[in-house]
Amino acid sequence: MRENDPVTSATGTPETPASPKLSTALKQAGSPVVPARLIATDLDGTLLRDDKSVSPRTVAALAAAEEAGIEVFFVTGRPARWMDVVADHVHGHGLAICGNGAAVVDLHGGPGTHRFVKVRELARQNALDAVRLLRDAAPGTVYAVEQTYGFHQEPAYPKLHMEIPDNLAPAEELLASDGPGAAEPVLKILAYHPDLDPDAFLTLARLAVGDRANVTRSSPSALLELSGPGVSKASTLALCCAERGISHEEVVAFGDMPNDVEMLTWAGQSYAMGNAHPDVLAAASGRTVANNEDGVAVVIEQLLTAGA
């Protein structure tokens, strides 16, 4: 579910085979690496396999990391209500940064008991401005609205997700001050175009929307995600780390899609999955094998061995 798209490979190219030189960021220019205090990992296409499962090897690696005193954060474009699939498998480890940084959710209580720790909302006026600007720049764009608990969409928005929307209405009505869910914060807007190339749509949207919202994508299709200005996986992770006295050099991050680029650039050590988008491969300081080959677990095991 890159925003619930069935395709997981970002590029449609075959996954990279396992290599004896996976953890290229463990040694950077011969300099000693700062010991990790926090692991930040994307979910879809990264920690999760294509069938949305978490492998036993990955479960064991995450547990070993926490036992070694390394905190685990899941950092995803998913909304909070889609986190049970992870909590079911990883036994409530860690916190989750959801909605590309729009919310921080405590997973420790297990499935069904998730608690919002932090919310970084998209102001309704900003959302309305972004919707208008992007409609003008890319006619045919259709929208859905993610809130802390609600999900709403326009009638023409395709069935990309596994849930029935709470309301069907034009985005301008959904985002009105007296619209449905008016008492709940807006976390992000989803913008879909049926014809445009995904990367071209992202570039166009960023130019059109400007500073009204942060625009990114995690789907192989032309599906964009609009969050509040300055809200991203990286900025929310940085806030959470600052609260814990953790520097960016002490963070190890994993990702596969454009919405991971800022986080991978910010972290002291970062790994692109073997199935990653070209922009992610360029941004990360290291590379591991694909999600279906447990690339995150491979690196964690090496980190723990190196620190033993």
Query: What is the DSSP secondary-structure string of the chain?
Result: -BTTBS---SSSSPPPPP-S--BTTSSBTTBPPPPPSEEEE-IIIIIS-TTS---HHHHHHHHHHHHTT-EEEEE-SS-GGG-HHHHHHHTT-SEEEEGGGTEEEE-TT-TT--EEEEE----HHHHHHHHHHHHHHSTT-EEEEEESS-EEE-TTS---SSS--SEE--HHHHTSTTSTTTTSPEEEEEEE-SSS-HHHHHHHHHHHHGGGSEEE--SSSSEEEEESTT-SHHHHHHHHHHHHT--GGGEEEEE-SGGGHHHHHHSSEEEE-TT--HHHHHH-SEE---GGGTHHHHHHHHHHHHT-
Q: 240 and 214, same structural domain?
A: no
What does the pLDDT average to over 36-50? Answer: 95
**Residue predicted with more confidence, 22 or 54:** 54
Contacting residues for 183 by C-beta, under 8 A, at least 6 apart: none
Q: Which of 22, 33, 32, 106 is nearest to 71 (CA)?
A: 106
Q: 271 and 141, same structural domain?
A: no
Residue 33 forms part of a structural domain: no
Residue 31 forms part of a structural domain: no
115-119 and 142-147 beta bridge pairing? unpaired
**Cα 233 from Cα 100, distance rounded (Å):** 5
Residue 65 forms part of a structural domain: yes
Of all residues in the chain, the percent with pLDDT exceeding 90 is 69
Q: The CATH number of the domain where 65 resides is what?
A: 3.40.50.1000
Q: 213 and 167, same structural domain?
A: yes
Residue 277 forms part of a structural domain: yes
Q: Domain span at residue 188?
A: 124-227
Residue 30 forms part of a structural domain: no
Residue 24 forms part of a structural domain: no
pLDDT value for 172: 96
Query: Is residue 156 scored above 90 in pLDDT?
Result: yes
Q: Is the dihedral of CA 160, 150, 228, 105 positive or negative?
A: negative
Question: CA-CA distances (angstroms) from residue 275 to 8, 15, 16, 220, 257?
Answer: 8, 5, 7, 12, 9
pLDDT value for 30: 40
Cα 234 off chain centre by: 10
Query: Is residue 10 scored above 50 in pLDDT?
Result: no
Q: 199 and 132, same structural domain?
A: yes
In tens, the pLDDT along 75-101 reads: 999 888 777 666 665 555 667 899 999
* Structural domain count of the chain: 2
Q: 112 and 136, same structural domain?
A: no
Q: The CATH number of the domain where 130 resides is what?
A: 3.30.1240.10
Residue 99 forms part of a structural domain: yes
pLDDT value for 88: 60
142-147 and 186-192 beta bridge pairing? antiparallel
Q: 236 and 93, same structural domain?
A: yes
Residue 27 forms part of a structural domain: no
Domain boundary among 180, 210, 227: 227
- Say if residue 246 is exposed, middle or buried (CB neighbours under 10 Å; 0-12, 13-18, 19+): middle
Q: Which of 271, 224, 206, 235 is nearest to 25 (CA)?
A: 271
Q: 116 and 146, same structural domain?
A: no
Query: Of 67-71, 115-119, 149-153, 268-272, which has the strongest mean pLDDT?
Result: 268-272
